[in-house]
Structure 1
Amino acid sequence: MKNSMYGFLLAVQFLTRLPVPVTCPWNEKTSRWAIRFYPLVGMIVGFILAGGWVLLKDVIPSEILALCIISLWVWLTGGLHLDGLMDVADAVGSNAPLKKKWEIMKDPHVGSFGIIALLFVLAWKVVLVFELQLAEINDITIILVMLGIIGFARFHAVLLLGVFPSAKTSGLAWEWKKNLTIFDIFFSFLPLVILCVFAPNVIFLGLAYGLFILVYGVWMMKTFKGTNGDLIGTAIEGGELWGLLSVWIFFLYGMG
């Protein structure tokens, strides 16, 4: 029980800026529990964002609310995954050989491709949140889709760690991966299964994310021959954007 508690708090510490006033030990058991809680912690972030959305949607203009939601989103996650996105964008934009791509991702400086990727991802998120407000989705649905979007995006991280080979046997991603088992992957998926059981209208997100991780995994292996922390962060950011786009299309065509 203590290991599971520490694992949950480790996941909160790593994936969010939420304060955790406890020193959590890092070992094989606590790190495995932390991985299991990735999607659940994502759903907690989604609930916080959805709560702000629901409370403020009739108080402030839609365009301002959209910017506030994305600002809170970035703050809650500490920009951790955006940093990975920028590193990967710089590496891909360089059109360099594989070895050079890895060197670019290690470089602490951000290049022009990274900045462009950051601006476009944030701009698209703001626009999609704004458009979803215009769709006049009811409060319960807002909460459910935000739980699904951020929960499934964090499940991507678990899948990438557990299913795809690591690019190297060192670094943070390897430390998370080396003790991971298939059971941990299935356990991490349980909160999303429960969400889909009690909210069947969210199942379409699971199908959309299945397509995303398949395409992303093939592209990642073709381009980088393995995964690392930056590529996992990129998958999370891309997955969140893909989730917002999927929800927007879903309601645009009246399926919601």
Structure 2
Amino acid sequence: MREAGYGLLLAVQFLSRLPVPVECPWTAATSRWALRCYPLVGLLLGAILAGVSLVLHERVPTPLLALVLLSLWVALSGGLHLDGLMDVADALGSNAPLARRWAIMKDPQVGSFAILALLFLLAWKAMLLWALLEGGTHPALLLAVPALGRFGAVLLLGLAPCARREGLAWTWRQHLGHRDLLFSLVPLLLLFHWLPGWPWLLAALLVFLLLYGLAMTRAFKGINGDIVGAAIEGGELWLLLIAWSWWSFAMG
């Protein structure tokens, strides 16, 4: 169980800016457990968001609460996945040959397509949070979206081909098996018990990952760490949109 504990702490260190005052060894076992704990870290981040929402929902206007939650959402992850989104947007927006797209993705400079992608993603997330909060959506949704987004990252790492035998995605992939994908789903089972409409969210996530994985494989011949990070951001936005659509239909 020590490997499992270290794995959880590694996942927290990698996926968030939450302090972990422990030096965790990187081994095949701890890496495998870290991947299994990706959705659990998402649940932790979601629990913080849900707690803040419950405390503030009667104290601040809904638009301001949506902005507070989005700001906290970004701060908790340290913008790690947004950075991947921006790199992928610049590479795709260049419409350049494959080798040039890879060079653009690695370039630390930020281009216009990255800025546009960032602005529109944050704007859409803010508006969807506002609409869901105003509609009185189930509090468990704020737990589900970050957790499912990170479960999607594990699925993508496990099932999509890596473009290159280097980088973060390749490093994580070395110790990931199909059984680990099932283990990573376990933390979500109890959540699904309380969240109405969860089959729609899970099905929507699988559809998104299929289309996204195919598109990235076609554009880049596989995935890397930036592409996985962008999948988390895009998956969360897609899940918020599906949740709003389902909640509006159900309430209507």
What range is the shorter-chain TM-score in? Answer: over 0.9
Residue aligning to 1:59: 59
- Distance in structure 2 (CA, Å) of the matches to 1:208 and 1:245: 10
1:34 match: 34
CA distance in 2, matches of 1:250, 1:67: 22
TM-score (norm 2): 0.97
Amino acid paired to 1:82: L
User: Any unmatched runs of 5+ in structure 1?
Assistant: none
TM-score under structure 1 normalisation? 0.95
The CA distance in 1 between the partners of 2:59 and 2:223, in whole Å, is: 43
Q: Structure 1 residues 178 and 128 mapped into 2: Cα distance closer, same or farther (>3 Å)?
A: same
**2:76 maps to which residue?**
76
> Quick check: 1:194 aligned with 2:190?
yes
CA–CA distance in 2 between the matches of 1:198 and 1:113? Answer: 39
After TM superposition, the structure 1 = structure 2 runs for residues 65-214 of structure 1, keeping only pairs within 5 Å, are 65-137=65-137, 141-142=138-139, 144-214=140-210
Q: Deviations for 1:13-70, whole angstroms, at most 9, x for unmatched residues? A: 0001111010101111111100000011111111110111111011011111111100
- Structure 1 counterpart of 2:240, from 240, 244, 250: 244
Give, in whole Å, the separation in 2 of the partners of 1:24 and 1:84: 25
Alignment partners' CA distance in 2, 1:61 and 1:194: 31
The answer to whether the 8 Å contact 2:56/2:65 transfers is yes
Relative to structure 2, which stretch is displaced further, 226-235 or 202-211? 202-211
The Cα of 1:148 is off from its aligned counterpart by: 1.5
- Percentage identity across paired residues of the two chains: 54
Find the residue that maps to 2:116 and give its secondary structure.
helix
2:169–2:225: 8 Å Cα contact kept in structure 1? yes
Deviations 1:129-178 (A, max 9, x none): 111122123xxx21x11222111110111111111111111111111111
Deviation for aligned residue 1:200 = 4.9
Which amino acid in structure 2 is aligned with residue 39 of structure 1?
P
Post-superposition offset of 1:247: 0.9
Please, which runs of 5 or more residues in structure 2 have no aligned partner? Answer: none
Q: Distance in 1 between matches of 2:94 and 2:232?
A: 22
Which whole-Å CA distance do the structure 1 matches of 2:32 and 2:195 have between them? 28
